[in-house]
A and B are shown apart, each in its own frame.
Chain A
Amino acid sequence: MSDPRPGKRFTFEAGSAGDAHRRDDREALFTPADPAPGERYSLEAVHHPLEEPTETPVDSALDRALAHPRKRHRGLLTVLLGTLIVGGVQAFETLSNAWLGGDLLAGAWSVLGLGVITLAASALGRELLKLRRLRRHARLRERVEARLDDDSLDGRKMHALCDRLRQQMGLSDRDPHWQDFKKAHQQHHDATETRALFAHYVLAPRDARARALITRMSGETAMLVAISPLTITDMGLMAWRNLRMIDRLADLYGLELGYASRLTLFRTVLANMAFAGASEIATEASMDLLSMNLAGKLSSRAGQGLASGLLTARLGIRALKMLRPLPFEDERAPKISDLRRQLWQQMKRVDEGKRDTP
């Protein structure tokens, strides 16, 4: 046992030796680098404020999601674009040769090829455009978020920012909600107040609709998953309804989603699909295992449906938080618990309706 036992005493020599040792250490540590104690500099000497290490800018999750594929896909995109251009030139050359040579079949083929290339290029262009719009949206949103603590942002600048958000959302200047906001905004309102007004007059109506949409679509998903007997249909339903919901939410805020933003949400969709499939299998197995009666089977199916609905609702809320031009203020953010109650009531209503009409 190497630990000192209680009451064990050490000799003074041992202690003093240690002290001496420590003092040596300290001297060794401090003598070479430090300036002489009490050194003074003249006030005229050049001096700067203490430099603080600049923080590396932290990207948001969305920005990372956007930036990452771009790096990886740059080569791919170049190849793709190059192929398209070279292919287009080649097709054009073939076409002109065919025209000059009178080879009608080859000409028709090349026209077709040219059409395909145009289609592909326009699809690619659209996708890139959407991506750029989404990135601009994300950047603007981040700026709003970051500059809220900034003192230099006064009401007027915030109003200008809100105006840009409006354009981004695709609202015209004559939009009634925007008009309400403009009427409510006064010169002396500061940034926070302007933001609150914008959130109330322009965003709140859309939030309410988005919330209703999420409830409705998650309710539908819940019903469909509860009714469908097959694992594969469950998964398919989940994918279809979820993607559809994301698109419609994006539509509500005037955004079109590109592949990258979809990708981040799509991961959740995949997880939801996996859940729907797995739970279906588990329900089947347990029903067989426990040899449930019809009522039991029905209720376990309803449970599975409800869970799927809840997952859809959660995805909806995530998408909503991502798509909203301004982040939610703390207490206003929609919560899964609100939606859960609504979802449950919706399912109960359907259940009662079924009983009323046998």
Chain B
Amino acid sequence: MPLSLPGYAGDWLERGLDRQLRLAVTGLSRAGKTAFLTSLVNQLRHAGLDARLELMGCVREGRLLGAMRQSQPDLSVPRFPYDEALASLEGTPPGWPSPTRGISELRLSIRYKSRAGSRHLFGEQRSLTLDLIDYPGEWLLDLPMLQLDYWQWCEQMAGQLRGRRRSYAEDFLRHAERLDPAADADEQQLADISARYADSLASARNEGGYTWVQPGRFLLPGELDGAPVLQFFPLPAIAEHSRTALDALPASSNYQTLARRFEHYKRTVITPFYRQYFRRFDRQIVLVDVLSALNAGPDVFDDLRQAIATLMQSFDYGNRSLLSRLFQPRIDRLAIAATKADHVTPEQHANLLSLVEALMAEPLRDLRYANIPVRALSLAAIRATSARQVEHHGERHAALKGTTLDGEEVLMFPGEVPSRLPDADFWQRQGFDFTAFRPAPQAAGEALPHIRMDSALDWLLGDKLR
């Protein structure tokens, strides 16, 4: 990261004094990262004024003075489009912030009054610098690829192409199965099959709702569009060949060419991304969109569970000390959030919470082993609905009032959330259909409504705002 020496030293000092935090906002695409970041900046800007942050200890005690966007350390990275996101939320009709297509950074300086005994020495006012980055969730799924080589990756991908998901990849499979790994590579043919592979990923992602699509750059290539580094794909019939035979093939063969490109992709695309943005986190919030996964069905749900479990292995967890803070930052506190909690009625939040805990059971066990405090919350970064009670046949029922994405105003009970994963029987009987809402109309310059953002912020930052 290009940094001037004084700036670097300043950062180091801040880190040493524990006044700088990097928050990892982790979530697959459409999990609500951009909304979370927008809301976070908005709430902290409005803290102590009109933001509803009662569950944040230092706001309740009147010690949080506010937050300011600062110039970010790395000037070559775009700034997080906060104003644009806010503009689309405040527009008519209001809309969700547009999906992220590239990396952006944000540095926030939070100022607060200290409660600690040493305030006479350092003065009452303190500030905490919070570094945030936003990135396309699709790219995040590349991180687990770093631990695989091409052969292993092919095996994993071939295992994935089963059941309903296979139907999205028919076209690709037809062409890929005809490809002989030992034959000399034909650039045109490889490019053609790669394009079909990318299409199959896109339709699995957009139509099927699957989240585990690798490589993520195929969906959002950015400046790499058309470059050979993006022209590779997994060989679906890899199991029919022995690994040693494939490894012995000449460098010009299809298999070796694809393997080379895979390694190149790992080296030049994933590694820099990982190194620059994903290694130095202090806190993490994992956003999981459980409702969409429930809507999409059991295999998507399972796919999400696996994707998250694999993903969580890409982060360093451990307790912090002064030395590790300076030289090898690690995540020492974690929040797991079931997002879009405003899409269900409040009494379903407890179920939502236990469902997300069930979904994350495997990573949670690892975290418990690493002695990392974890908290699960149901969260809506920007609340789109309001909770109501409807009189129906003389009884009161919980309901939501909001506007659907098509612009229809509705008063409805969106459905019950199961407290654990339903069995196969249930999926065949009914399944889920949670409605998507668009944001509620928002007066310009007012704090965004939310559910439990304050709780999340208190958990993630509260101990540094003492």
Bound CA span A197–B455, Å: 12
A 180-226 contacts with B by CB, 8 A: 184-190, 193, 196-197, 200
For the complex, give the distance between the alpha carbons of A189 and B455 in Å.
Answer: 10
Q: Does B347 contact A (CB under 8 A)?
A: yes
Q: Is B452 an interface residue (CB 8 A)?
A: yes
- Using A187-B387, A188-B341 as known contacts, say yes or no to A193 and B55 having CB atoms under 8 A apart: yes
Tell yes or no: A151 within 8 A of B by CB: yes
Question: Could you name 17 residue pairs across A and B whose Cβ atoms are closer than 8 Å?
Answer: A151-B350, A154-B346, A154-B347, A155-B346, A184-B54, A187-B346, A187-B387, A188-B387, A189-B55, A190-B350, A193-B55, A193-B455, A196-B55, A197-B54, A197-B55, A200-B54, A200-B60
- Is B451 engaged at the interface, CB distance under 8 Å to the other chain? yes
Q: CB distance B60 to A188 under 8 Å?
A: no
> B100 to nearest A CB, angstroms?
27
Q: B452 to chain A: which residues have CB within 8 Å?
A: 188
Complex CA gap A24/B153 in Å reads 61
A46 CB to closest chain B CB (Å) equals 25
Closest-by-CB residue of A relative to B452 is A188
| Chain B residues closer than 8 Å to A186, beta-carbon distance | 52
Please measure, in the bound complex, the distance between the C-alpha atom of A185 and the C-alpha atom of B54, giving whole angstroms.
8
Is B266 in contact with chain A by the CB < 8 A criterion?
no
Min C-beta distance of A178 to chain B, whole Å = 15
The chain B residue with its CB closest to the CB of A186 is B52
Residue of B nearest to A181 (CB): B54
Interface positions of B (Cβ within 8 A of A): 52, 54-55, 60, 341, 346-347, 349-350, 387, 451-452, 455
Q: Are A188 and B350 in contact (CB under 8 A)?
A: no
Query: Are B60 and A154 in touch, CB under 8 angstroms?
Result: no
Asked whether, in the complex, the Cβ of A188 is within 8 Å of the Cβ of B55, the reply is no
Residues from chain A with a CB closer than 8 A to the CB of B341 are 188
Chain B residues within 8 Å of A193, by CB: 55, 455
Q: How far is the CA of A57 from the CA of B172 in the complex (A)?
A: 66
Query: 4 closest A-B pairs (Cβ-Cβ)?
Result: A184-B54, A188-B346, A187-B387, A188-B451
Tell me the minimal C-beta distance from A132 to chain B in angstroms: 34
| Residue of chain A at shortest CB distance from B386 | A187
Name which residue of chain B comes closest to A200, CB basis: B60
Chain A residue numbers with a CB within 8 Å of B347 are: 154
- Whole-angstrom distance between the Cβ of B391 and the nearest chain A Cβ: 17
**Which residues of chain A are within 8 angstroms of B60 by Cβ–Cβ distance?**
200
CB neighbours (8 Å) of A155 from chain B are 346
Give chain A nearest CB distance to B410 CB in angstroms: 18
The listed residue with most A CB atoms (<10 A of its CB), out of B54, B341, B346, B451, is B54
**A193 to B55 alpha-carbon distance, docked (Å):** 7
- Of the listed residues A154, A188, A189, A193, the one surrounded by the most CB atoms of chain B closer than 10 A to its CB is A188
> B residues within 8 A CB of A151?
350
- The answer, among A188, A196, A197, for a CB contact under 8 Å with B349, is A188
Q: Which residues of B contact A184 (CB under 8 A)?
A: 52, 54
CB-based contact B451/A154 at 8 Å: no
| New A-B contacts (19) at CB < 8 Å, excluding given A190-B350, A200-B60 | A151-B350, A154-B346, A154-B347, A154-B350, A184-B54, A185-B54, A186-B52, A187-B346, A187-B387, A188-B341, A188-B346, A188-B349, A188-B452, A189-B55, A193-B55, A193-B455, A197-B54, A197-B55, A200-B54
